[in-house]
Amino acid sequence: MKLESLLKLNRTIRVIGFDDAPFIRGAGDNVFIAGVVCAGTRFEGMVWGEVQQDGFDTTEVICKLLIGRKFLPQLHILLLDGIGFGGFNLVNLPELADRLQLPCVTLMRRQPDLVAVEEAMSHLPDFQQRQKLLQLAGTIYDYSPFFFQVSGEEPAVVARALQRLTDCGKVPEALRLAHLIAAAVMTGESGSSA
């Protein structure tokens, strides 16, 4: 069922939220990512993977964690904590939405400084490829308290879904839990900035 229909009928929205675990920049190690599945704001399950620090494999890793596996047929929307995982390993948002046949959304806590982002990326190899991925993610929408980019759905529909998927504050529960779990696994305790 489409997201807009679920909202109109007040049905449960099943979501997966991905965040990366804490890592040491420049160490070159792979970075773990947690994907938490929620029905509305209720935890239902999770997936765990790893991506290359400042690499180009996040889109592929997320697809491998979901395609042909049990959670994908249940999901209505996928949320990402920003577009970059493990530093500047950027997601190809339109490709991810197309391969998963789901609306895919990158969320940010505030409007990003794109000039500063591009400046930081310019010090890495394959700058043009990273810049293209950033552009492919499209417009950053401001539906306060949410700032997001989306592929596969209308921004107004996504904004309404995000409200339903957020228990309190401005972070949807699936993303909040992914952040807390990834931090706890890597450091022994969850952080406070979820």
State the Cα–Cα distance between residues 35 and 49, nearest whole angstrom. 8
Q: Is residue 178 part of a domain?
A: yes
Average pLDDT score over residue span 126-150: 96
The pLDDT of residue 41: 97
Q: Is residue 23 part of a domain?
A: yes
State the Cα–Cα distance between residues 99 and 118, nearest whole angstrom. 27
State the Cα–Cα distance between residues 100 and 78, nearest whole angstrom. 9
DSSP secondary structure of 7-75: HHTTPPPEEEEEEEPP--TTS---EEEEEEEEETTEEEEEEEEEE-TT-S-HHHHHHHHHTTSSSGGG-
Question: CATH number, domain at 39?
Answer: 3.30.2170.10
Q: Is residue 166 part of a domain?
A: yes
Q: Which domain holds residue 14?
A: 3-185
Q: Is residue 194 part of a domain?
A: no
Given a cut of 60, whether residue 194 has pLDDT beyond it is no
Q: Is residue 150 part of a domain?
A: yes
Query: Smallest Cα–Cα separation from 93: which of 180, 84, 28?
Result: 84
The pLDDT of residue 192: 63
Q: Is residue 38 part of a domain?
A: yes
Given a cut of 60, whether residue 63 has pLDDT beyond it is yes
What's the pLDDT tens digit per position in 87-115?
999 999 999 999 999 999 999 998 888 88
CA 68 to chain centre: 20
Average pLDDT score over residue span 54-59: 97
Given a cut of 60, whether residue 165 has pLDDT beyond it is yes
Strand partners, 50: 32
State the Cα–Cα distance between residues 84 and 63, nearest whole angstrom. 16
**Domain tally for the chain?**
1
Average pLDDT score over residue span 150-175: 96
Strand-strand pairing, 31-39 and 42-51: antiparallel
Q: Is residue 71 part of a domain?
A: yes
Q: Is residue 147 part of a domain?
A: yes
